[in-house]
Amino acid sequence: MRTFLLQTAAALMLVAAPAAGQDLASKATQIRDQALADSTAWNVVESLTTEVGPRPVGSPSMERARDWGVAKLRSLGFENVHVEAFTTSAWSRGSESAEVVGPWPQRLNILGLGNSSPTPTGGLTAPIVLFHTYREMLAQPPGSLAGRIAVVTERMTRTQDGSGYGGINANRTQGPTEAAKRGALAYLVRSLSTDDTRLPHAGSSTAAGIPAAALSTPDAELLEHMAARGQPVVVKLNLASSLNPAAPAWNVVGEIRGSATPEEIVLIGGHLDSWDPGTGAIDDGAGVAIGVAAARLAGQGRPKRTLRVVMWGSEEQSGSGAAYAAAHIAEISKMALVSESDSGAGLIWSISLPPGSDGAPPMKAFLGAIGPLKVIVSRTPPEEGGSDIRGLIDGGAPFVDFHQDVSRYFDLHHSADDTLDKIEPKELAQNVAVWASFLYTVANSDIDFRKAAKAAK
């Protein structure tokens, strides 16, 4: 177990509130160094993964996560800590099993996909039809997969920027629907994973009316070896999932209120819910921890604008972002910035700032401060932001993309391997340093990203 010195409230007091005109750059640099030595983010994610663990939306542990979030924000000195309730659809895993029943009986390691239908009582037994690529399956005519379990074993490419995941995402999310269209009784997909462990990776899919599950990568390869023998391979699936179309859910919010223009919001967050096989450390305990720790450091001595932290309650199965945007639609025009950290705890290696802003003095101050952190300033404008802030972005809120190195992220993502030991504390701290410096400059300057974007056009 790693140990860190505890950051005490007293230590934070040593950093004085920014005087008017004080050099943003030197303050952002000071906060950067403070962040690199700060244990708050590690302590937050250690606490969440140890005391709550996995927390799928709609589960009892998500209620514990909500209470944990409120208590954690309060104990770290946040103001206006509260819960914003909403309802959303929540799919729950039941007992699951899969096995080859013939000609070579073997158990298979699977995880049902979100929105999968359950199998009939007693299971579903059928021969498989195996495609090495998703495209191959899409090339099959309607009805051609009738009576069979469609299996897609396409491999995912390891990339630093996550494009390997983006390129294959439809295999999981749309695969069940496309298989069902062609008459398949069920759908199995090779886990969207860059690792070779025998742990399947969960994830959501569109409801297709058929059972759907992810195979671990060795299990997908086992079926390839069997299928290559040219005899019918018969698989039995048991998936006992259930769906609650209106489950209670919560976004947990805390603030450090602004001193000059408190109505102007600088928003950072991560999502509190997680998939169930791991403890939700990298997805997205890390993001929650980075947001909380960075906002706390950035808000020392009270910022000019209000810093707001949101722990979204249903990212994996969607719902929390839309609920948050709907509840805050009137406030979007006052949001100076919205942001989400949801790519694990790997180093930030590139950032995309709002268009037209990188020459503005506060952004120059920020970029100067993070110079030693080995971050590239991308020429590409921000594109993603985060799925929980999509509604706010669509409503016109400025956003950023801080790109993390995800070359190991998809080894772990949505699997039982998403556990605390996979987080490198120094990498987590680098994230906090970049975010804290950034949030500080945005919350303590009058930078107007909307105006900068217009001027740049």
Angle, alpha carbons 281-284-288 (nearest 5°): 105
In one-letter notation, the amino acid at residue 372 is P
61 contributes a contact to its own copies by CB under 8 A: yes
196 contributes a contact to its own copies by CB under 8 A: yes
346 contributes a contact to its own copies by CB under 8 A: no
Contact 212, 151 (CB under 8 A): no
Alpha helices in 107-261 (DSSP H): 134-138, 163-166, 169-173, 175-181, 217-227
Binding piece for its own copies, criterion CB under 8 A, among 77-85, 214-222, 292-300, 341-349 = 214-222
315 is catalytic: yes
- Looking at residues 393 to 432 of the shown chain, list those that interact with its own copies (rule: CB under 8 A): 415-417, 419-422
Q: Which of 46, 96, 264, 315 is catalytic?
A: 315
Contact 378, 351 (CB under 8 A): yes
For the chain, the farthest-separated pair of C-alpha atoms sits apart, in whole angstroms, at 77
Single out the residue of 7, 88, 92, 109 in contact with its own copies (rule: CB under 8 A).
109
The least CB distance from residue 194 to its own copies, in Å, is: 13
The least CB distance from residue 428 to its own copies, in Å, is: 16
The least CB distance from residue 71 to its own copies, in Å, is: 13
Single out the residue of 50, 75, 157, 163 in contact with its own copies (rule: CB under 8 A).
50
How many other CB atoms are found less than 10 A from the CB of residue 141? 8
Contact 123, 98 (CB under 8 A): no
d(CA 294, CA 289): 8
Site map 274..313 versus its own copies, x via CB under 8 A: ---xxx----------------------------------
106 contributes a contact to its own copies by CB under 8 A: yes
Contact 184, 149 (CB under 8 A): yes
Single out the residue of 1, 10, 19, 330 in contact with its own copies (rule: CB under 8 A).
1
d(CA 318, CA 436): 27
Of 286 and 393, nearer to its own copies (C-beta) is 286
d(CA 319, CA 384): 17
Contact 149, 187 (CB under 8 A): yes
How many CA atoms within 13 Å lie on the side-chain side of 448? 7
The least CB distance from residue 452 to its own copies, in Å, is: 44
The least CB distance from residue 221 to its own copies, in Å, is: 5
* Interaction site with its own copies (CB under 8 A): 1, 46, 49-54, 61, 104-107, 109, 196-199, 217-218, 221-222, 224-226, 228-229, 277-279, 415-417, 419-422
Q: Which residues are catalytic?
A: 315
